Amino acid sequence: MKIVLTTLNSRFTQSSIGLRYIYANMQEFQQATEIIEFSINDAMQSVAEKILDTNPTIVGIGVYIWNALEVYELLHIIKKVSPKTTVVLGGPEVSHTPFRVDFSLADYVVQGEGDVAFYELCKSLHGGKVVDKKIIKPTVPNLKELKLPYSYYTDFDIKNRYIYVEISRGCPFECEFCLSSIDERVRTFNLDEVLNEFQKLWDRGARNFKFVDRTFNINIKTANKILDFFLEKDGKYFVHFEVIPDHFPSSLKEKIKMFPKGALQLEIGIQTLNQQIAKNISRVLNLEKIKENISYLENETSAHIHLDLIIGLPGESLESFGKNLDELVSLSSSEIQLGILKKLSGTKLDRHDIEHGMVYSDLPPYDILKNNLLSFKDIQIMKRFARFWDITYNSGNFKRSVGMIWGDGSVYENFYHFSIWLYEQTDSTWKISLDRMGELLFRYLSEMKSLEPKDIAANMLEDMMKLKGRAIPKYLKPYASDIEFKMQEGSSGFNKRQI
């Protein structure tokens, strides 16, 4: 029996921890099992060819929101070309009904944690047993008994990809838009064993660790031990955690403060600052603690902060969203990711559909199309708003100059008008070069906001010339020689010769 474990990652730098968990627990079938990873950007017929070239008996495919349509195509090709090949699907996208992508060609679907269930299915099939249930709902595995996956990251993975790790599964909160809320009980791995595996990864050269735990700082003793592990290391490294915003006791704050710049990234799911909206979706908000902790992280540490807001939550107007954005920008200069609400199968969001007129796409990523407060046009405008926000504010390329869009006024209202104007100029939100975006920003600030071109140029030169060797854009050259402090050798990364 030949078994292939595969998935389609959203980008090359990703690696699948799920496939490696299954591989680690394949027992007597491990030698007959192979992991082959691809990207959603690969041609699906080529992906099918590479899989079938191994002459597999069983193909296990991890299905996620970002690859569901590509997996549908891959499944179709495999079953057309090699109908006797058994295809097993697993992963979040097939773990809950209804299936909104047609996966009916699959032979089996494992719903839930498949670390051991996939092995048990293969054992039954190999033994000739008839498995008459197409949908398999395994029991939740004991995490302390699972074999860990970390030794199955290859040297190539360590050199070229993020290494995904975890110390727990589940989430104690009940946010209705999130799949993690389904498993309300937090279960933990044996921490000493996990840290031992992390040390082995480190010794092999791993320096990029992304924790997939949904609530890293729920257990402060455990969180502190993990932070200590990395604080004891020398040299450059990068560690990413998802954290809850209102649970940072002093011991955790002090340790975070010790990390050097560029070493630590904290993703903080704010989603909304409107207490009533948060209550609607069963989300607990301690606003004073959230503000206090963001302020501390912003002003007292070197951690890179990534804050999340959601557009389209049940009952939330654009005015309410705008207040959220204004307040977050006043609290932090960190990255603020603006996401569009999605309704995932298995979540409780559908209970709001009638009351709030929630209408979603039936195709991945199942994003909201309209509701009682936001029209389809509103949603389209806000999708473009989010994209332009990402490539101006979040990119860091226009850190000083982007703030000139709103000055002392509302961030949301002013950026809203900018995003509408920008789309009128580009008719696109993609493939806009850095130079073109800079020129468009310069035009908007000078023509539409009537700001002094020399003042705009001063900020834009400060922004765009941070990297040494970058040529001054053509539209800024007329102003560069008039900005005296810019002429100093090495100032902001450029000198007289570049001007």
pTM of the predicted model over 0.85: yes
Return the closest-CA partner of residue 395 out of 467, 456, 293, 330: 467
C-alpha atoms less than 13 angstroms from C-alpha of 45 in its C-beta half-sphere: 0
Which pLDDT value is given to residue 499?
A: 35
Name the band, by pLDDT with cuts 50, 70 and 90, for residue 129: confident
Q: What is the pLDDT of residues 74-127, one digit of tens each?
A: 999 999 999 999 999 999 999 999 999 999 999 999 999 999 999 999 999 998
Name the band, by pLDDT with cuts 50, 70 and 90, for residue 485: very low
Name the band, by pLDDT with cuts 50, 70 and 90, for residue 482: low
Which of the residue ranges 180-184, 235-239, 387-391 would you say has the lowest mean pLDDT?
180-184
Nearest-angstrom CA–CA distance, 166 and 169? 8
Q: What is the pLDDT of residues 359-380, one digit of tens each?
A: 999 999 999 999 999 999 999 9
Name the band, by pLDDT with cuts 50, 70 and 90, for residue 179: confident
Which pLDDT value is given to residue 483?
A: 59
Average pLDDT over residues 223-231: 97
Which pLDDT value is given to residue 496?
A: 35
Residue where the block lists tokens 């099939």: 125
Nearest-angstrom CA–CA distance, 106 and 79? 8
Share of the chain above pLDDT 90, in %: 86
Between residues 211 and 177, which one has the greater pLDDT? Answer: 211
Q: How far apart are the first and last CA of the chain?
A: 67
Q: What is the pLDDT of residues 39-74, one digit of tens each?
A: 999 999 999 999 999 999 999 999 999 999 999 999
Name the band, by pLDDT with cuts 50, 70 and 90, for residue 489: very low
Instruction: Give the chain's domains with CATH numbers.
Output: 3-136 (3.40.50.2300), 153-374 (3.80.30.20), 403-499 (no CATH)
Which pLDDT value is given to residue 181?
A: 72
Name the band, by pLDDT with cuts 50, 70 and 90, for residue 495: very low
Average pLDDT over residues 168-196: 88
The C-alpha R_g of the chain, in whole angstroms, comes to: 25
* pLDDT value at 450 more than 90: yes
Which pLDDT value is given to residue 164?
A: 98
Q: What is the pLDDT of residues 57-66, one digit of tens each?
A: 999 999 999 9
Average pLDDT over residues 200-216: 96
Q: Taking a C-beta distance cutoff of 8 angstroms, is the pair 263, 277 a contact?
A: no
Name the band, by pLDDT with cuts 50, 70 and 90, for residue 173: confident
* pLDDT value at 208 more than 90: yes
Q: What is the pLDDT of residues 288-324, one digit of tens each?
A: 999 999 999 999 999 999 999 999 999 999 999 999 9
Report the amino acid identity of residue 296: Y
Return the closest-CA partner of residue 19 out of 32, 1, 36: 36
What's the mean per-residue pLDDT of the chain? 93
Q: What is the pLDDT of residues 370-422, one digit of tens each?
A: 999 999 999 999 999 999 999 999 999 999 999 999 999 999 999 999 999 99
Residues 6+ apart with CB under 8 A from 66: 10, 40, 364, 365
Name the band, by pLDDT with cuts 50, 70 and 90, for residue 464: confident
| Cα angle value 246/248/252 (rounded, 5°) | 165
Which pLDDT value is given to residue 493?
A: 44
Q: What is the pLDDT of residues 247-274, one digit of tens each?
A: 899 999 999 999 999 999 999 999 999 9
**H helix runs in 282-317, sequence order:** 287-300
- Report CA 79 to chain centroid distance, whole Å: 32
Nearest-angstrom CA–CA distance, 497 and 475? 17
Name the band, by pLDDT with cuts 50, 70 and 90, for residue 498: very low
| Cα angle value 267/433/425 (rounded, 5°) | 100
* pLDDT value at 153 more than 80: yes
Strand bridging mode 187-188 / 168-169: antiparallel
